[in-house]
Amino acid sequence: MAKPTQKKPVMKVVKTAKATPKKEDVDKYLKGKGLDSNREKEIGQHIGYRYDVNLVPDYSRLTPFLKKYMEVMGWDDLNWLEDVHMGYEEGRAAVFDRNVNGWVTIPPGVKLPDNQQDRDMIARELLIKFQMSRKHPMVDLNKAYRKF
């Protein structure tokens, strides 16, 4: 008896129109309230940790200061700075300093680029510079509690 032949399934290729992604205004948190989620609207403030903290920084966008800093420190990557991002505090661009548990606002004269990766690099640079400055609160703590 002959084997019945099996028909191969026919695959149809359906072309769909690509939706062009809506380009967001990078200054939306400066110009408006920046409240996107229902929870943000409910509490009336922006939730700063909505950024993708797993996004690996684009090392081609390093500032000259960060390049030199990594070279002096002997680092191959940004390590502890990878989850530092430009945020906003009271309508001003800012970076969060975990050591003082507060926002460090960006000086008003600093022109911010239209790219979030570049803004994050500036935030990393300013955070390092602030933490190394004599104005950082840890300097006073060091003087007050130094043991030797």
- Judge if pTM exceeds 0.95: no
Extract long-range pairs of 58-64: CB within 8 Å, 24+ residues apart.
Answer: 58/117, 61/115, 61/117, 61/118, 61/121, 62/121, 63/121, 63/122, 63/125
Please write the tens of the pLDDT for every residue from 49-98.
555 444 556 788 889 999 999 889 888 877 778 778 888 888 889 999 88
| Domains of the chain by residue range | 55-145
Please write the tens of the pLDDT for every residue from 93-127.
999 988 888 899 998 888 999 888 889 899 999 99
